[in-house]
Amino acid sequence: MTRLGLRLTLASGREAIIRLVAIAAAVALGVGVLLVSLAGINAVEAQSTRTAWLNTSRQNLRPGGGEATADPLWAKGNLDQYGTSVIQRVDVAATGPRSPVPPGIPQLPGPGQFYASPALSRLLRSAPRAQLADRYPGRQVGTIADIALASPDSLVIIVGHSPAELAQDPSAGQIRSFETAAQGAPGDPHPGRMQLILAVVAGALLIPVLIFIGAATRLSAARREQRFAAMRLVGATPRQVSVIAAVEATVATAVGVVAGFAVFFGLRSVLATVPFTGQPFFPADLSLRWTNVALVALGVPVIAALAARLALRRVQISPLGVTRRVTPPNPKAWRAVPLLAGIAELAYFVGRKPAGTTAQIRAYGAGFGLAMVGLVVAGPWLTMLGSRLMARRARRPATLIAGRRLADNPRAAFRAVSGLIVALFISSAALGIITTMLDYRTASTGGAAGRDILAQPFGDRERITPDGHRIPGGVTVPDTLLAQLDAIPGVRAVAAIHADPSAPSGPAIGPTEGPPTGLIACADLARIPALGRCQAGAAVAAIPWVGMDEGITSHAQATVRVWPAAPVPAEELASLPVAALDVGTDGSRGAIEGARTALEAAFPDRDIPATLGDISADNAQLIEGWRQLADVAIIASLVIAACSLAVSVAGGLIDRKRPFSLLRLTGTPLGVLRRVVALEAALPLLVVAAAAAGTGLLAAHLFLRAQLDESLRPPGSGYYLAVVAGLGLALGIIAATLPLLRRITGPETARNE
């Protein structure tokens, strides 16, 4: 039987070959998307493993070898900025010849030496020296190799010092090995966020891909079923017919799987350059494990064979012909219950925010899960309602026929687009939440105060960190630095915020609570109006430190930026230590980066000076990665759903060849039939897309109201562009099936059938 199945698949003439090619092409597309998703997860893992050394601490999860015999290494990690790019800076000082060496460099840089990643090396050469290179004393002695970098675009620098130098730096610590465990490895309390996101995206795409592959294998099922009926007439048993169907599906799918692998490896280097996660990959990162290969190579044909078997169970193939099993009963209204329950659950928590992270995860996770599953369950019922309404209101024959067909079997109509729901719901909900959080953050930068003022915090008193480091309080700012800052083009004013002598004395343990307040001379404040102003007649004002996140947020949220007078004479200010330095600029890159470079060079052992925009740049980069992935998921899921639809449209056309060709023969314009086909495909696509996106955004809104007391902000233009582009592509794919209509409904069809 298997041999007969093979013969029927491969040597049954042109129609069989066309069917084989069509199924194989569809499967290749699906397999390609699957492989890219799997390789994407592997690539992020590879990135995470290579950059594990940047998460080194004194308690490494998986320390590098030779820890027992290694000489300690003074090390300090910090995130620097250049424009919107984050630079990962590592300062090191060897205490002996056996001090551990980070990956990617042959040996530790000595004092006055540094290694830079290729992208940073290029930036160091192209950016004005006073805006970047002056932050890194000494000369570049080499390039950090790819094995230590996340991406070809990574900006990483390893700066060498003497042990004495770093020993005085309160942020530096001694280590004996570098971390080798990737973020998210077992035991890591901070799971890899991007891996989690990618896994969700891959999961969201998996369902539409599998539905698509299943739909592809059912292509021209009616024609095949007629042939099976003929075989039953000459004595084939139902089991034998089932084996032949499975062989046909498996052969076509196997060809598709091979083609899918070829497409993946052919496009791998191009795909690597697409910054799906915010940064491009190295081409080799997009690799597949043997388990991935086995899963796809074996799993997809098995799924195809099962889909073919399932399709045959829906029809009764007797020796006298093919009869469809009785149309299943119409979907009932109870299908809307899970969806409503999910929405109601999320709505319940508005104003009743659960206490604790675990309770929150349970509450919101259950709500989102229920709403998503509810959409899938309610889909056929909603499709039926929509199509009945369409048929009832139809004035044109095309709308009437399409509405009736959709209402006849809403499950089948919905099946082709059901995969879309998962992807679009997740993407829309995620994008809604991201956009609102980003908007909230952008608003809290306080306009010019957050954007144009570079702040260097020092602290007003000594601080003891949880791991025992003592960070000294305020500093004395040399006049030469003030002059240097003033001389930078674009710098408008420099204001010092002094430590308040009335603040509590003694070292602060752990992070300070709330924005600490310092003192500023009203004459200085007047030179940086974005910071606010003093009360009339005051000489000194109490002001939160700008530069601390909370400080700027306070500025942003203050409706009246009039700072209260402080009972300290102006002449006493100069003798008080400086708790923070605010540099007012015109917002230009040259001014901000020039000032940052000067401050970093002057205070190498202090926090990196930053604007609020800089402070959130790292998060913003991650969120941008999220956003891009969500856009990719939206477009990919829409395109895959359209492919499924196109396949079912083509299948439906072949099944209805005769009535359609007879209608055409009797003078029905081809345009009417085209509209029937287009409506049958486009209507479920558009309705389901709107329902999934709408429910996703509603769920996001309820979550934001409950958790953050924020209302949903409309997603950015990127979201709408992705949806419109995806829908446009999808409709284009559906339109591509329309020429088939002309061909299969020609007069010869009516004559020959």
Count of residues of this chain found to bind another protein when the rule CB under 8 A is applied: 25
DSSP code at position 546: B
What is the spatial distance between Cα 507 and Cα 586, in angstroms, rounded to a whole number? Answer: 36
Q: For another protein, which is the closer residue by CB, 3 or 751?
A: 751
Q: Report, in Å, the least distance between residue 315 CB and another protein.
A: 14
Q: Report, in Å, the least distance between residue 672 CB and another protein.
A: 7
Q: Tell the residue number behind the tokens 């004559």, with chain if given.
A: 751
> Read out DSSP for 577-590?
PEEEEEEEE-S-HH
Q: Which of 701, 691, 715 is nearest to 374 (CA)?
A: 691
Residue 134: how many other CB atoms lie within 10 Å? 14
What is the spatial distance between Cα 339 and Cα 201, in angstroms, rounded to a whole number? Answer: 22
394 touches another protein by CB under 8 A: yes
What is the spatial distance between Cα 182 and Cα 45, in angstroms, rounded to a whole number? Answer: 7
Q: Report, in Å, the least distance between residue 321 CB and another protein.
A: 13
What is the spatial distance between Cα 432 and Cα 427, in angstroms, rounded to a whole number? Answer: 8
Residues 642-701 that bind another protein (CB under 8 A): 656, 658-659, 662-669, 672
395 touches another protein by CB under 8 A: yes
What is the spatial distance between Cα 745 and Cα 231, in angstroms, rounded to a whole number? Answer: 27
14 touches another protein by CB under 8 A: no
Q: Report, in Å, the least distance between residue 365 CB and another protein.
A: 42
What is the spatial distance between Cα 269 and Cα 408, in angstroms, rounded to a whole number? Answer: 47
Which one of the spans 22-30, 139-147, 390-398, 637-645 is the region binding another protein (CB under 8 A)?
390-398
Q: How many helices (H) and strands (E) would you count in the chain?
A: 25, 18
Q: Report, in Å, the least distance between residue 220 CB and another protein.
A: 18
401 touches another protein by CB under 8 A: yes
Which one of the spans 90-98, 354-362, 397-405, 487-495 is the region binding another protein (CB under 8 A)?
397-405
SS3 541: strand
User: How many Å separate Cα 660 from the centre of its chain?
Assistant: 45
Q: Do residues 170 and 605 touch, judged by C-beta distance below 8 A?
A: yes
397 touches another protein by CB under 8 A: yes
Q: For another protein, which is the closer residue by CB, 106 or 667?
A: 667
Q: For another protein, which is the closer residue by CB, 224 or 656?
A: 656
What is the spatial distance between Cα 369 and Cα 339, in angstroms, rounded to a whole number? Answer: 10
Q: For another protein, which is the closer residue by CB, 275 or 397?
A: 397
Q: For another protein, which is the closer residue by CB, 527 or 658?
A: 658
Identity of the amino acid at 230:
A
222 touches another protein by CB under 8 A: no
Q: Report, in Å, the least distance between residue 190 CB and another protein.
A: 56
Secondary element (H or E) of residue 244: helix 238-272
- CB-facing half-sphere around the CA of 570: CA atoms within 13 A: 11
Q: For another protein, which is the closer residue by CB, 52 or 402?
A: 402
Secondary element (H or E) of residue 509: strand 508-509
Q: For another protein, which is the closer residue by CB, 181 or 662?
A: 662
Q: What share of the chain is helix, strand, coil (3-state, %, to 5)?
A: 60, 10, 30
* Residue 174, beta-bridge partner list: 74
Q: Report, in Å, the least distance between residue 673 CB and another protein.
A: 10
Q: For another protein, which is the closer residue by CB, 394 or 562?
A: 394
Q: Report, in Å, the least distance between residue 242 CB and another protein.
A: 26
Residues 408-447 that bind another protein (CB under 8 A): 408
Identity of the amino acid at 419:
G
Which one of the spans 1-9, 401-409, 632-640, 703-711 is the region binding another protein (CB under 8 A)?
401-409
Q: Tell the residue number behind the tokens 């200010």, with chain if given.
A: 573
Provide the phi-psi class of 220: left if phi over 0, else alpha when psi is between -120 and 50, else beta.
Answer: left
Q: For another protein, which is the closer residue by CB, 510 or 667?
A: 667
Q: Tell the residue number behind the tokens 């992807």, with chain if given.
A: 423
400 touches another protein by CB under 8 A: yes
Which one of the spans 156-164, 220-228, 395-403, 441-449 is the region binding another protein (CB under 8 A)?
395-403
Contact partners, residue 397, CB within 8 Å, separation at least 6: 668, 672
470 touches another protein by CB under 8 A: no
Which one of the spans 70-78, 202-210, 281-289, 398-406 is the region binding another protein (CB under 8 A)?
398-406
Binds another protein by CB under 8 A, chosen from 353, 388, 404, 411: 404
Which one of the spans 400-408, 414-422, 499-507, 703-711 is the region binding another protein (CB under 8 A)?
400-408
Q: Which two tokens stand for residue 247?
A: 């062989």
Q: Report, in Å, the least distance between residue 670 CB and another protein.
A: 8
Q: For another protein, which is the closer residue by CB, 382 or 663?
A: 663
What is the spatial distance between Cα 712 and Cα 697, in angstroms, rounded to a whole number? Answer: 8
728 touches another protein by CB under 8 A: no
238-272 and 290-313 helices, crossing angle to 10°: 140
Which one of the spans 8-16, 127-135, 201-209, 393-401 is the region binding another protein (CB under 8 A)?
393-401
* Residue 520, beta-bridge partner list: 541
Q: Tell the residue number behind the tokens 């309820």, with chain if given.
A: 702
Binds another protein by CB under 8 A, chosen from 321, 447, 739, 747: 747
Residues 46-105 that bind another protein (CB under 8 A): none
Residues 504-563 that bind another protein (CB under 8 A): none
What is the spatial distance between Cα 525 and Cα 539, in angstroms, rounded to a whole number? Answer: 10
316 touches another protein by CB under 8 A: no
Q: Report, in Å, the least distance between residue 411 CB and another protein.
A: 15
Q: For another protein, which is the closer residue by CB, 209 or 741?
A: 741
329 touches another protein by CB under 8 A: no
Contact partners, residue 362, CB within 8 Å, separation at least 6: 354
Q: Report, in Å, the least distance between residue 312 CB and another protein.
A: 21
Q: For another protein, which is the closer residue by CB, 400 or 464?
A: 400
Q: For another protein, which is the closer residue by CB, 412 or 455?
A: 412
Q: For another protein, which is the closer residue by CB, 130 or 662?
A: 662
> Read out DSSP for 599-642?
HHHH-TTSPPPB-HHHHTHHHHHHHHHHHHHHHHHHHHHHHHHH
Which one of the spans 44-52, 78-86, 396-404, 519-527 is the region binding another protein (CB under 8 A)?
396-404
Q: For another protein, which is the closer residue by CB, 61 or 672?
A: 672
Q: Which residues are at the interface with another protein (CB under 8 A)?
A: 394-397, 400-401, 404-405, 408, 656, 658-659, 662-669, 672, 747, 750-751, 753
